[in-house]
Amino acid sequence: MAKTLTQSLKPFLAMKLQEKALEMEQSGQRVIKLSIGQPDFTTPDCIIDAAQKAMRDGKTGYTHSLGIWELREGLAEYYATEYGLSLAPERIVITSGSSFGLLMLFEAILDEGDEVIIGNPAYACYENFVRCAGGAARAVPAREEEGFQLDPEKVRAALTPGTRGVIVNSPSNPGGTVMPPENLRALAGLCAEGTADSGPLLISDEIYHGLSYEGQVSSALEFSDNCIVADGFSKRYAMTGWRLGWLVLPEALVPPLNLLLQNFSICAPSVSQWAGLAALKDAGPDTRRMAAEYGRRRLILMDALREAGFGVKSSPSGAFYILADARAFCDDSLLFSYELLEQAKVSVAPGIDFGSGAEGYLRFSYANSVENIQEGMQRIKKYLENR
């Protein structure tokens, strides 16, 4: 069974390109990496100081499987401050990263053959999360003209008796776009009757909240109390390696998640949890500084892509990605990504990684310095001119 499962999983191509780039660097080549969502900032000092204090104070053992109470309370306060929401801390579950949280969520809600609606394109790993839990991903086209975001009417048409979840991501990976609040409200309405045992549930991946550059981004919790939110500290706090995320759940789903976490992770890393609490309390100025810099890089990269001949119709307004149309240069995004890596020494993510709807596109990450972005785009432009 395990062998069959692993054979059925799709590789995460952005990571394969990243691993190839690292191998090239080990052989002495200098590669500009614009392929993954890895902030180039170091974790803010206030977070590192809190982690060091936690270690010195002996807070290095197992915690409650649902997370330390102080962090769950801190996140409830965060939702009150950011979105004006009143959430019971008991509904917040701390996980070893948001990806692991989503995997455990699907294990809790899916029976064999249940469907989860995802966008096409969408984050590359959603389909594998669903498959690992015995479910099936049902892809609904998300057009560039719609910001690569799910359209509520298309989702409505795709619902079946076997639909167990609808997953949205705003700001999005790979498109970097924000879902209009009226669409998020409509999707919440479609999933309003879902329960812990039956019917579709709205699952909102909000890992890129805090990284938006053209206005406020809505949380699904503003439109429905009966939805699931996945979020984490990796992106806006530059804490990717700390492996700390959370889920906000309807009360009925907390006990099954508790059971799964007891068995499969025991708890999220204890030191990371205390560091996360400091992030919520003290890292606001750092997150605003980093977000402002990402916003500056976004404009520089968009201009450079268009100058090099890539199409960017849908202006990204969040996260740190641009999904650029490369069909003027290729019809196979994976081969073209390897070509750019090997010839121009620049790594980017192939659109096909995110679904057939992004074939012919490349995802560029601006989670890198302005200097590296400019050099990387100059390398690509020069290579294409001589290609």
What is the pLDDT averaged over residues 62-84? 98
What is the pLDDT averaged over residues 334-361? 97
Q: Report the pLDDT value the prediction gives residue 6, as an integer from 0 to 100.
A: 73
Asked if the model's pLDDT at residue 339 lies above 80, the reply is yes
CATH code for position 348: 3.90.1150.10
In DSSP notation, 275-338 reads HHHHHHHH-HHHHHHHHHHHHHHHHHHHHHHHHHT-B--S---BTTEEEEE-TTT-S-HHHHHH
Give the span between the Cα atoms of 275 and 277, in whole angstroms.
Answer: 5
User: Is residue 51 assigned to a domain?
Assistant: no
Domain of residue 75: give its range: 61-282
Asked if the model's pLDDT at residue 196 lies above 70, the reply is no
User: Is residue 365 assigned to a domain?
Assistant: yes
Asked if the model's pLDDT at residue 1 lies above 60, the reply is no
Domain count, the chain: 2
What is the pLDDT averaged over residues 204-208? 98
User: Is residue 52 assigned to a domain?
Assistant: no
Q: Are residues 367 and 311 in the same domain?
A: yes
CATH code for position 210: 3.40.640.10
Give the whole-number percent of the chain exceeding pLDDT 70: 99
Q: Are residues 127 and 275 in the same domain?
A: yes
Q: What is the mean pLDDT of the chain?
A: 95
Q: Are residues 265 and 297 in the same domain?
A: no
Give the span between the Cα atoms of 179 and 181, in whole angstroms.
Answer: 6
Domain end: 282, 297, 331, which one? Answer: 282
- Residue 221's nearest CA partner among 85, 96, 118, 72 is 85
Owner of token pair 């974790």: 43
Helix/strand/coil (H/E/C) assignment for every residue in 29-71: CCCEECCCCCCCCCCCHHHHHHHHHHHHCCCCCCCCCCCCHHH
Instruction: Tell me the helices (H) and strands (E) count for the chain, helix number first.
Output: 13, 12
Asked if the model's pLDDT at residue 289 lies above 90, the reply is yes
Strand partners, 248: 92, 229
Q: Are residues 230 and 176 in the same domain?
A: yes
User: Is residue 268 assigned to a domain?
Assistant: yes
Q: Are residues 227 and 83 in the same domain?
A: yes
Q: Are residues 180 and 324 in the same domain?
A: no
- Per the CB < 8 A criterion, the answer to whether 175 and 149 are in contact is yes
Give the whole-number percent of the chain exceeding pLDDT 90: 91
User: Is residue 54 assigned to a domain?
Assistant: no
User: Is residue 38 assigned to a domain?
Assistant: yes
Q: Are residues 136 and 267 in the same domain?
A: yes
Long-range contacts of residues 262-266, Cβ cutoff 8 Å, at least 24 apart = 262/65, 264/104, 265/65, 265/95, 265/96, 265/100, 265/104, 266/62, 266/65
Q: Report the pLDDT value the prediction gives residue 174, as an integer from 0 to 100.
A: 96
User: Is residue 193 assigned to a domain?
Assistant: yes
Q: Are residues 160 and 309 in the same domain?
A: no
Asked if the model's pLDDT at residue 235 lies above 70, the reply is yes
The predicted-structure confidence for 8-42, as pLDDT tens digits, reads as follows 788 899 999 999 999 999 999 999 999 989 999 99
Q: Backbone dihedral region of 20: left (phi > 0), alpha (psi from -120 to 50 degrees) or beta?
A: alpha
- For residue 364, give the 3-state DSSP assignment: strand
What is the pLDDT averaged over residues 130-139? 96
User: Is residue 123 assigned to a domain?
Assistant: yes
Domain end: 232, 252, 282, which one? Answer: 282
Q: Are residues 344 and 378 in the same domain?
A: yes
Asked if the model's pLDDT at residue 195 lies above 80, the reply is no
Q: Are residues 229 and 329 in the same domain?
A: no
Sign of CA dihedral 128, 134, 140, 146: negative
Give the number of other CB atoms < 10 A from CB of residue 139. Answer: 17
Q: Are residues 241 and 93 in the same domain?
A: yes
- How large is the greatest C-alpha to C-alpha distance in the chain, in angstroms? 60
- Per the CB < 8 A criterion, the answer to whether 124 and 353 are in contact is yes
Q: Are residues 249 and 294 in the same domain?
A: no
Domain end: 226, 254, 282, which one? Answer: 282
Q: What is the pTM of this model?
A: 0.95
